[in-house]
Structure 1
Amino acid sequence: MDKLYNDFIVEAPEISLKLTHDIARCLISGYKEIFEKFNGDKNGYSAIMTRQPMIINNGQLIKDGYNNRTYLFQNSYLQIPVSEQANYGIRICLELQMQSTIQQGFIFVYGNRHQKNIYLSCEHNLKFLIFKTFNIRRMSLNRTIKIPVNTNMFQKPFTIEMALYKNGYLSIALNEYLQHCEKIPTNFSIYNGKLIIGANLDGEKFGNFLCSVNSIEPI
């Protein structure tokens, strides 16, 4: 131990400090995953039974345009806890199929009603997918991006992706093709909040769509 200290730490203090910092980050990141496994799963859930998405309608499994089993979000939602991760951006991906029985509604919202962080959301109507960033304190962070809806979106599943990187870059993609990219004047880190699929944060405004796959990941 003395030899390590004298030959490495004393001789190269800056490298030693950076290496120690990197090791600490790896240990913290690894422990966080272990803690979450023992502290409870992060599966989506609906606290109110009547607000759970449907998998059966009229005695039949609900299926999408590819004849795969899926979930119908109609006056229903799932909420997924999102844990803080400093110095990481967030990517939200969903596989959807639009329904034509509602004029306007929410597909997802990521936020925390008790904090003033930036919110990410996607709404829909019969003409557009409407992606938004919103911050009540800083109007300069507010963005609204409209992506036109086409008839294929009502017939077959498609993927949407909304990502906000730690350096403030916002990107939106459909079926893995980039639709929009711009720099928002802020640095971002994942904060403690919820991803609500199918409703707004208050659980009062709903969307209407099929969704079989969702993914949230740090970037």
Structure 2
Amino acid sequence: MASVPPPDRRPIVISGPSGVGKLHKGTLCQKLRDTHPNTFALTVSHTTRKPRAGEVEGETYFFVSPSTFSTLISNDAFVEYTFFGGNYYGTSKQTVVEQTAEGSVVVLDIEMEGVQRIKASNSIDARYVFIKPPSFEMLEARLRSRGTEKEGDVQKRLAQARVELQYADTPGVHDRIIVNDDLERAYAELEEFVYEKPSQESKAVG
């Protein structure tokens, strides 16, 4: 099935609380791309956050100044953007348009506020997947285990995660909710969803 595009070519929006390791939603996004080469394109977000060790400009993020980000917002350049932890993050419309024009199915790895902005603005017609932790306690353990953030930042992420999990339970927000307790099982469920044929109802809505 590698390199075969899914029947439904709409962008796929994948969201979920911040986690770590193999069960992070970004890992599932990358696995989808690796398993089906030249089929899916992961968007690279803009951010005002400073680069961390090992992060690459244009691959991990586009690192920009707050003033540049504000200008992009004013120019309506983003499909979605959000402010978290003292920094802005956003997905440019140009990136989505260019990748779609090249024949790729665009995958957006974003947060709850981004999902809300896309749905409110109808900027793109997409499918929505939420990657849910097995439990809140396990999510907290994952966040603490990486040891890259101060306690205050961990508490902010946990508070945000509670809000995101509540939002995910809202009927109709997501097309599929996947519990990421096991990488292979979670990926198999994601792949099944991505490659399922669109229903008549989804065609009508879209």
TM-score with structure 1 setting the length: 0.25
Higher helix share goes to which structure? 2
